Each structure stands twice: as C-alpha cells, then as structure tokens.
C-alpha cells in the first residue's frame, strides 16, 4: 500500500514538473544601453606599417554613441545565470571575423561556444591575428594576402581579446557564451534577446571601455522584459527595468 502511494506521489510530481515546464514558457529581453557624459576625443595613432592600406593616422574611438541621445553601440549583453541545458535552440555557427582596412570587423562579436571563428584577410597587406583568452593564446596566425580563411572552434566561454601583431592599433573582442541568450547593441543602443526561459534572471552588459553593469530582471512568459542600462562618465552606472 505504501509502495503504491509512493508510486502515485512520484507520478504526480512528474506531472507537476512537466506542467511547470510548459507553463513557464519563454519571453524576450529588450536591452537599451546609454552613455551619460562627454565622449572622449579619439586617440590619434601614427601608422608606421603599411600606410598605403592603413592610412597614415588612425583615430581610435572606443565609445560610439548617438548624439544627443547617448545611445551606446557595441555593448555586449548576456543573460548571466542560465547554463546550457541542451534543450534550447543553439546558435552555434560559423562566425566570420575579417581583417578589413586595418581593423577587425565586427569590432565586437558575441557568439555561442561550439561556434567556429573564421578569420579572413580582405586587405592587400599581411596581418597577424593574435587572440588571447584569459591571458592564454587561443590562436596566433599570420594572415597572408589572398590567403585562405583560418578557422578554429571556440570551446571555452568568456572574453577573447583580438589583436594584430603587425598593427598594434588593431583590436577587437569576442565574447563566448555557453547558451544562446546574448546580443550586441546596435547604433540605437538596442539589443533584443529572444526565447529566454521565463523567470528571474541576471543580465549583464559589457563594454570594452566602460566596463560591466548588471540588472536583475523577470522575463514574463510570452512577454517582454525591458532593461535600460546607463554608463556614466565617472565610471559608475545604473539600470532600470520593467516587465510587460
Ligand atoms: Cu594587422
């Protein structure tokens, strides 16, 4: 009798679990990132190698904002507290990183672990793409003129720094996420992450110059959560959030 009761209890709890799963559903996260403050003037770099392709002077601007709204481009956004369950749709794919006009395009690139990073050289000069992850070399490869793309699978999550050993002013970033819930802000400072499991989550925004901000949000099933992040000139920042 006790066994039967236990058996029924187990069945009931399984039913409840699967109900909870289907009821939970998915929603979207809308992120808006702003910068409040004076945009620092670009850093002027004199070019000594390959000026015919790279130009003689590079003006490096690491904070790209729309004026006067202050909407910040190239901030990478990620849901922090989800670990890949294997049930979600993956976004693993081949991601192309170009050496183009002596810069990396795209400048910042979020991707899912398991994706292949395909590095190509579109310039008529040699580059040497050198990517590090947690201070260790991920890849260090000479990119000859008209050479074949070089591909390598990104297995480990985290931030990758992209540099060129020939042109020290070239830099970029790759952020590898274990799960598919990430994005990067466009010219309007916006990023949208879809199909996020409903519930409470921590999301973070990372910018190469301004650092990181976090917010706690609640994603409603079949709805949208909105978070606005503000980076301040003095190095502080805050976030506001809203559920719909
Ligand atoms: Cu280069």
Report domain extents, the chain.
Answer: 26-82+184-244, 84-180
Distance between Cα 101 and ligand 1 center (Å): 9
Q: What is the pTM of this model?
A: 0.86
Q: How far is the CA of 104 from the centre of ligand 1 (A)?
A: 9
Kindly give the distance from the C-alpha atom of residue 188 to the centroid of ligand 1, in angstroms, as a whole number. Answer: 29
Cβ atoms of 204 and 193 within 8 Å: the answer is no
**Quick one: pLDDT at residue 149?**
97
Specify the pLDDT at position 96: 98
Rounded CA-CA distance 125/148 in Å is 14
pLDDT computed for residue 21 by the predictor: 46
Cα 55 to averaged position of ligand 1 atoms, centre (Å) = 12
CA of 170 to the centre of ligand 1 (A): 6
DSSP assigned state of 74: S
Ligand 1 centroid, distance to 54 Cα (angstroms): 9
The pLDDT value given to residue 79: 96
What is the reported pLDDT for 23? 52
Say how many Å lie between the CA of residue 130 and the centre of ligand 1: 10
Instruction: For residue range 103-158, list pLDDT tens digits in order.
Output: 999 999 999 999 999 999 999 999 999 999 999 999 999 999 999 999 999 999 99
Model pLDDT, residue 198: 94
Handedness of CA 179, 96, 76, 135 (dihedral sign): positive
CATH code of the domain occupying 84-180: 2.60.40.420
Q: Is CATH 2.60.40.10 the classification given to domain 26-82+184-244?
A: yes
Strand order in 182-184's β-sheet?
182-184, 76-79, 199-207, 211-219
- The answer to whether 229 touches 239, Cβ cutoff 8 Å, is yes
The closest of 79, 94, 61, 74 to 197, measured between CA atoms, is 79
For each successive 10 residues of the chain (244 residues), what is the average pLDDT?
A: 52 46 80 94 92 93 92 97 77 94 97 97 98 96 97 97 96 96 97 95 95 94 96 80 58
Give the per-residue pLDDT at 2.
53
Q: How far is the CA of 167 from the centre of ligand 1 (A)?
A: 4
In contact, 59 and 47? CB cutoff 8 Å: no
């Amino acid at each position: 009798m006790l066994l039967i009761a236990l058996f029924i209890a187990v069945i009931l709890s399984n039913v409840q679990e699967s109900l909870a799963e289907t009821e939970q559903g998915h929603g979207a996260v809308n992120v808006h990132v702003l910068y409040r403050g004076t945009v620092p003037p670009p850093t002027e770099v004199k070019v000594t190698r390959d000026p015919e392709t790279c130009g003689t002077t590079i003006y490096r601007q690491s904070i790209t904002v729309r004026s006067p709204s202050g909407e910040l481009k190239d901030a990478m956004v990620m849901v922090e507290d989800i670990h890949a369950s294997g049930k979600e749709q993956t976004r693993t794919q081949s991601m192309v990183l170009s050496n183009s006009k002596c810069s990396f395009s795209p400048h910042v690139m979020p991707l899912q672990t398991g994706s292949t990073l395909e590095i190509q050289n579109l310039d008529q000069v040699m580059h040497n793409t050198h990517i590090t992850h947690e201070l260790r070399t991920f890849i260090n490869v000479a990119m000859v003129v008209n050479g074949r793309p070089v591909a390598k699978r990104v297995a480990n999550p985290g931030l990758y720094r992209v540099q060129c050993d020939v042109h020290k002013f070239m830099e970029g970033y790759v952020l590898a996420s274990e799960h598919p819930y990430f994005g990067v802000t466009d010219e309007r400072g916006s990023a949208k992450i879809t199909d996020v499991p409903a519930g409470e989550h921590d999301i973070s925004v990372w910018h190469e110059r301004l650092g990181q901000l976090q917010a706690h949000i609640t994603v409603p099933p079949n709805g949208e959560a909105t978070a606005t992040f503000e980076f301040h000139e003095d190095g502080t920042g805050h976030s506001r959030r809203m559920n719909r």
